[in-house]
Amino acid sequence: MKLDLLTGSRSRILAFGLLAIALIFVGRLFYLQVIQHDYYVSVAADAQQSRFVIPAERGLIYAKSGDEPVQLVMNQTVYTVFADPETVTEPDEIMQSLREIAGGNLRSNAAELLEKTDTRYQILATKLSRVQADKLKERSFTGLGFQAVSQRVYPEGDLAAHVLGFVNTEGVGSYGIEGALNEELQGTDGVLQSVTDVSNVPLTIGNNNIRQPAVDGKNVVLSIDRNIQSKVEQALIAAAERTGATNVSAVVMDPATGKVMAMANLPTYTPGEYFLVDDVAQFNNTVITAPYEPGSTIKAFTMATAVDKNAIKPSDTFVNTDSIRVADRTITNATKGITGTITFETAMQWSLNTGFVTIAQRLGNGSEITATARDTIYTYFHDKFRLGEPTGVELAGEAAGTIIAPDQPTGNAVRYSNMAFGQGMEATMMQVASGFTALINGGSYYTPTIIDGYIQDGEFNQTTDISRLQLV
């Protein structure tokens, strides 16, 4: 049968018109579905999929109580209560409930914030406990939301505050072990990418789901003994009251391992309320951050150097005249009157500067602090006892101090005569204490450490890699 429709000009035009429209549709669909395929797939994925961060739990910090680890720093989930004033329907009831339940966690201007109906997000209360948040949730107020936040808590209060440091509002560890081991403590957040429903509940349907679990931070056990630490802190308070000193510090170490058992400073602060501190210098752990002239404590190092080099024996004698001349300077004793021929042991007992300047001279040619004597003192002080260098203890902000080398213009005989009794040089308390461990344990220098081990899956694994260097 012949199609008469196609023979007419109008029909033909209509047919071509329809064909043209069909071709336009086909072309457009080809463009959208084939050429723009990847783009629209990604747009669809963005609309259907959500990416969640699975937060890693920050590692806990323990101290020791004898051999048992006890928690010093823990994590607690607290809640921030926020409102969308535009959608809130019962502002008065919300405020009444917040006053009843949130108490001191309620912001003083919460009622005013709730009245700002042209805004969509106002924080009304912070740091609510789980129980408080649950009570508020039960009342199902429209426009009221809760955000869980993890915060550090310190069951022992301000014990070992300078050792611990704190975690700032951005979740970054600052000062102390929190700052030094921030990477280890914070862990690695996980990722969950998934198709979600309207309530943002992740669903397993979809081909591009990703689930990468979080890796929690390490639980660190410090070598700090909480009983010794507490006693040291009490002693510091007593010392400050007795002497009127404004800054007091103390460190206790095990000379057989280099492990720090207590470390404290005054003035101190409460890590959980670090934001109340006005002077940031208060955060500094001066045991490691503040180099000072160690003074007469260094006489033990000078004596050890000379004995080890066979320059003297403690029973050897010298003539003490309460002063001694070095180049153009005269060095005198603080304690006068122990004059005449006395042993170096006596000079140590009375802390006589003249005796130790004499020892420095005997490391040279006997009457002068020669270049050889200065080299020897520098080698022992700096390279062996590690004075004037960061010790490497696992705490943030450790300072180096200064030991001026003999090849420096100021590293002359006068400088080294002063260094023989602990002046003209700077070291931290940590360096001096670490050097002393070598003096009293038979000559082994232990790199000081504040970490005793780690707790993994509830099991305490003590660290065994102690850095030991035999000096003599």
Partner 1 sequence: MGCAYGLRRKAPKQTQTKKHHHMSYQQNQYYTSRRQQNWSRNQNTTRYVSAVKLGPVAHTILVALMITVLGLIYLTQATQATSYDYESQRIDSQIADLNEQKADLEIENARLTALETIRNSDVAREMTTPVSTDFVE
Scanning 74-82, 306-314, 316-324, 418-426 for contacts with partner 1 by CB under 8 A, the matching segment is: 74-82
Q: Does 48 bind partner 1 (CB under 8 A)?
A: no
Q: How far is the CB of 135 from partner 1 (least distance, A)?
A: 15
Q: How many residues bind partner 1 (CB under 8 A)?
A: 22
Q: How far is the CB of 129 from partner 1 (least distance, A)?
A: 8
Contact 419, 377 (CB under 8 A): yes
Residue 53 or 466 with smaller CB distance to partner 1: 53
CA dist., res. 425 & res. 385, Å (int): 14
Residue 49 or 129 with smaller CB distance to partner 1: 129
Q: How far is the CB of 433 from partner 1 (least distance, A)?
A: 24
Q: How far is the CB of 18 from partner 1 (least distance, A)?
A: 25
Identified binder of partner 1 from the candidate list 52, 55, 74, 84, rule CB under 8 A: 74
Scanning 136-144, 196-204, 373-381, 412-420 for contacts with partner 1 by CB under 8 A, the matching segment is: 196-204
Q: Does 51 bind partner 1 (CB under 8 A)?
A: no
Bond preceding residue 448 cis, omega within 30 of 0: no
CA dist., res. 364 & res. 358, Å (int): 10
Q: Does 61 bind partner 1 (CB under 8 A)?
A: no
Scanning 31-39, 68-76, 84-92, 270-278 for contacts with partner 1 by CB under 8 A, the matching segment is: 68-76
Pairing of strands 317-320, 323-326: unpaired
Residue 197 or 383 with smaller CB distance to partner 1: 197
In this structure, what DSSP letter does residue 4 have? G
H or E stretch at 99: helix 91-101
Q: DSSP of 337-406, one letter per residue?
A: ---EEEEHHHHHHTT-HHHHHHHHHHTTTSSS--HHHHHHHHIIIIIIS-TTS----SSBT----B---T
Cα angle vertex 318, ends 313, 324, to 5°?
125
Instruction: For residue 318, give the 3-state DSSP assignment.
Output: strand
Among residue numbers 197 through 236, which ones bind partner 1 (CB under 8 A)? 197, 201-205, 226-227, 230
Among residue numbers 127 through 146, which ones bind partner 1 (CB under 8 A)? 129-130
Contact 163, 285 (CB under 8 A): yes
CA dist., res. 175 & res. 240, Å (int): 24
Q: How far is the CB of 25 from partner 1 (least distance, A)?
A: 25
Contact 363, 377 (CB under 8 A): yes
CB atoms within 10 A of CB 152: 20
Among residue numbers 149 through 188, which ones bind partner 1 (CB under 8 A)? 153, 155-157, 159
Q: Does 77 bind partner 1 (CB under 8 A)?
A: yes
Q: Which residues bind partner 1 (CB under 8 A)?
A: 70-71, 74-77, 129-130, 153, 155-157, 159, 197, 201-205, 226-227, 230
